[in-house]
Amino acid sequence: MGKSKTTKFKRPQFNAVGLPVNAVKEAAEEEEEHGGDDDDCPAAELLEKLESPSADVRELACASISRVVQQSLTIPGLLQRDAVRRLGPMLLDGSLAVRETAAGALRNLSACGGQEVCEDMVKRDVMTPLTALLRECCAGFDGATVPMKEQKNPLDSVANEAVNLLWNLCESSNQALSMFNKSGLLDVVVQCLERHPHNVELATSAAHCLHTVTEDNPELLCSINCAVHGALDSVLLSNQPSLAHTLLKTLASGTLWNVKESLPTARQAQTLAAVLATLAKCLDLDAGELIPQLRQAEEARFSSSGMEEQAKGERAAVDEMDDGEEGAQNLKNEKDEDDFSDLLPREKEELREAAALLTAQQTSLEIIVNMCCSDDPSDDEWEESSSSDESEMAADGFSNPMSPLCLSAEVHGALINHNIPQKVLKKTQFPAQGAMDVCRQTPYWGSLIKKMQRVQSRALTCLHTILSSMDADSLGGAAALQEAAQHLSSLVFGAAEIPKDEEFLESVISAMRSLLQMTASKNIPQVISLQQLMSLSEAAACSDVISVRVNAVAILGITGSTLAKEKGSAETLQMIGNGLLQVATKDADLVVNGEALDALFDVFADGNEAETAAKNIQLLPALRTLQPVFKAKLRKAGREAYSPQQLCVLNNVKVNLRRFVGYLETVVNK
C-alpha cells in the first residue's frame, strides 16, 4: 500500500501570477504598434521626475511609482523603460527620504511583479546599490543619535525597506541568494536583527530574511559564526511581551534550526530545547481569545483619542478599496498572506499585533513539519506517487511513514517533552467563532480570517507529519489515537456538507490517512464509519488537487484491507472495490489511477471475503480490460508529464497489475 509523507515547507515563493518577464516584451511590442507616445505615459513622466534636482520631487516620484506598481498592468511599461536601473541610483540618493521611498518602490515592484520580475531585477544589477545602501545604513547605526521614545531612527526606516527588498529577491532568485552568500550581506542583516531592543519592525524584517536565506543553503553555513549564533540567542532570551516579539522569536528559532549543523555538538541539545520551548510557547497563545481582546483595545484607544470619525473614514476607504483596488489585492496575493502586517497603516497597532501572532503560529507549525521531515532531495515538490509491495515510495513520492522519517532521538524526545503533538492537535480546531465575527465586522481585520484558516491547515499538515514520524505509544496509545480520529471526523463530517476549501481538505485528508494507517497497523478499532469515508471519497473525487484524490483513494484501501480480515465483510468490500475501480478507470490523472490500483491490490490480496467480493464485482475482467489502457496511458504520458519518482512508482504499479491479474486468474481456476 502506498504511504504518504509531508513535504518540507519552503519559505513562501511568489505565485506564478506574478508578472512574467515576457509580458514586458509583449507590452513593448504592443507599444510599438501604437506608436509608443511617451508624453501620454504616466510611467515615463514619473521616471523623468527621478532626474529632478529637487529632493522633494524625486521623493514624490518614488512614492508614486511605489503605488503605481501595485497595479500589475503598469509594470511592463515601467520595466520596458528600464525603471530598475533608473531607481537603483535613488537608493544612494543624498536624501534619506528619497532612499526610503526608492527602496519601497523597488520592494513593491519585487512583491507585485513576482518571481520572474525579481530575477529580472537582479539581472539589471539592483543588488549592487542595494548592498551599498545596507552597508551605509548599518555603518550609521552606531553613530546615530539615540531617538527619543516614540521616535525612530530615520536610518532604521530606510534599512527596513531595503531588508524587505533583499528578502523578496533572495526568496525568488537563486542568483540573488548566491550574491548574498558571497557579498558578506549576512553580517549586515544580522546587524539589523540586533536592533530588536530599539526597533522590532526592522529586526523582524531581518529575521524573515535570515529565515529565508539560511534554509537549504549549505554554502552559507561556513559563514555562520559565534556572532550570528549570539544574535539569534539574544532574540530568544528577550523578555519583551509583545506579539511582534513572539513572531521575532519564532523566526529566530527557525533560523537556528536551519543552521543547526553550524553549532558545536555540545550546544545542539540546548539549542534544540530552546527552539522547541519558543515554538511551544507561541502555540500556547489562544488567537480566539486574543483577537477580540486586541480589537476591544483598539476601540478603546480610538474612543479615548477621539478617532471615531477617522475610523468611519477608514471604513469608507476600505469599501472603496474592495470595489476596485487591484494593487492591494496584488500585494496580498504575492505575499500569500504570510506577512502583510508591515503593509498596514501605522496606527493599526492592535491589528499588526494580531497579524504577527497568526504569522508566528503558522511559522511555528511549518518549522515543526520541517523538523519531522528528512532532507529528501525530492522535497522540493509534491510527488504524488503510489506503490505496492515492491516500493517504499509514498503517494507523494516519499518513504513509508510507518517508520520514523529520520527523526532523531533528540528531536523525538524534545517534541514529546514540550507536548508538541497535543499543542498541534489543539490548533487543528476551526477558528473561534468570536474571533471570526470580530474580523468579519471590522474593516482591515477581515484580512485575518484567511490567516486563521491557514493556521488550522498548517496544524493539520503538522499533525500528519507527526503521525508519520512517531510511534503510537509516544502519541498516547490507542485511546489518544481514537480521540484524535474522532476529532478529525468532527472537522470533516460535523457540518451538513463536507468543507470544500481545498487547502483545508488537502491537509485534513492527509492527517486522516496517516492516522488511519497507524490505527490499522496497531489493530486499533476505527471510529470513523465506512459511510463517512465513502462520502469523503466522493467529495475528494471532485477536487482539482491531486493529493486530495490520492489520499482519499488510499484511505479506502486502508479501510478495505482491514475489513478483508473480518468475516461477513464481502458486501462492504464490493462497495469499496467498485469505488476504487471507478477511480482507476475514470480519473484523469495517472498517479490517482495508480494509487487506486495499488489500493485494489491490497484490499483483494488475500482471504475468502476478498475472493468472494472480487468475483461479485467482476474484478478480473475489469482489470484485464484496464491493463492495456493503463500501459498505453503510461507510455503516452512520457517524462514531461510526471517526475522520475512518479514514473518509477507507476511502472511498479504496471508490473504489479500484471502479477495481480495472474493471481486473480489462479483464484478463479481453484
pTM: 0.85
Question: pLDDT class for 246, splitting at 50, 70, 90?
Answer: very high
* Three-state secondary-structure class, residue 334: helix
Question: pLDDT class for 303, splitting at 50, 70, 90?
Answer: confident
Specify whether the CB–CB gap between 561 and 613 falls below 8 A.
Answer: no
* Cell matching residue 293: 481582546
* Cell matching residue 498: 463536507
pLDDT given at position 195: 94
* CA dist., res. 212 & res. 537, Å (int): 37
Residue type at 55 in one-letter notation: A
Position 18 pLDDT exceeds 60: no
* Three-state secondary-structure class, residue 297: helix
pLDDT given at position 41: 59
Specify whether the CB–CB gap between 206 and 192 falls below 8 A.
Answer: yes
* CA dist., res. 438 & res. 432, Å (int): 10
Position 593 pLDDT exceeds 70: yes
pLDDT given at position 15: 34
pLDDT given at position 361: 98
* CA dist., res. 76 & res. 22, Å (int): 9
Question: pLDDT class for 312, splitting at 50, 70, 90?
Answer: low
* CA dist., res. 282 & res. 630, Å (int): 49
Question: Range with the lowest mean pLDDT among 208-222, 317-331, 333-347, 631-645?
Answer: 317-331
| Mean per-residue pLDDT of the chain | 84
* Three-state secondary-structure class, residue 225: coil
pLDDT given at position 394: 37
pLDDT given at position 466: 96
Taking only the tens place, the pLDDT of each residue in 639-654 is 678 888 889 999 999 9
Which residues, other chains included, contact 56 with Cβ-Cβ below 8 Å and sequence gap of 6+? none
* CA dist., res. 191 & res. 135, Å (int): 10
pLDDT given at position 10: 56
3-state SS, 55-71, equals HHHHHHHHHHHHHHCCC
Question: pLDDT class for 392, splitting at 50, 70, 90?
Answer: very low
State the residue for C-alpha cell 525530492: 378
* CA dist., res. 610 & res. 38, Å (int): 75
Question: pLDDT class for 415, splitting at 50, 70, 90?
Answer: very high
Of the candidates 271, 232, 224, the one whose C-alpha atom is nearest the C-alpha of residue 249 is 232
Question: Range with the lowest mean pLDDT among 153-157, 163-167, 282-286?
Answer: 153-157
Range picked from 214-228, 385-399, 630-644 for highest mean pLDDT? 214-228
pLDDT given at position 71: 84
Whole-Å CA distances, 508 to 186, 279, 361: 38, 22, 18
For the segment 523-536, the average pLDDT, to the nearest whole number, is 89
The neighbouring-strand residues paired with 3 are 394
* Size of the chain in residues: 670
Region of 147 (left: φ > 0; alpha: ψ -120 to 50; beta: rest) is beta
Position 69 pLDDT exceeds 60: yes
Question: Range with the lowest mean pLDDT among 138-152, 341-355, 546-560?
Answer: 138-152
Position 420 pLDDT exceeds 80: yes
More confident residue, 417 or 32: 417
pLDDT given at position 643: 86
Question: pLDDT class for 537, splitting at 50, 70, 90?
Answer: confident
Specify whether the CB–CB gap between 611 and 667 falls below 8 A.
Answer: yes
Question: pLDDT class for 504, splitting at 50, 70, 90?
Answer: very high
Taking only the tens place, the pLDDT of each residue in 119-135 is 999 999 999 999 999 99
What share of the chain in percent tops pLDDT 90?
A: 67
Taking only the tens place, the pLDDT of each residue in 139-164 is 988 755 555 545 667 899 999 999 99
Position 560 pLDDT exceeds 80: yes
The DSSP annotation for 504-522 comes to HHHHHHHHHHHHHHHHHHT
For the segment 501-524, the average pLDDT, to the nearest whole number, is 94
What share of the chain in percent tops pLDDT 70?
A: 81
- At residue 267's C-alpha, the angle toward residues 265 and 272, to 5°, is 105
Taking only the tens place, the pLDDT of each residue in 71-92 is 878 888 899 999 999 999 999 9
Taking only the tens place, the pLDDT of each residue in 20-53 is 444 444 444 444 444 444 444 578 899 999 999 9
Position 237 pLDDT exceeds 70: yes
pLDDT given at position 44: 87
Residue type at 623 in one-letter notation: L
Q: Is 440 exposed, middle or buried (0-12, 13-18, 19+ CB in 10 A)?
A: exposed
Position 333 pLDDT exceeds 50: no
For the segment 559-567, the average pLDDT, to the nearest whole number, is 93
pLDDT given at position 21: 43
Position 209 pLDDT exceeds 60: yes
Position 110 pLDDT exceeds 60: yes
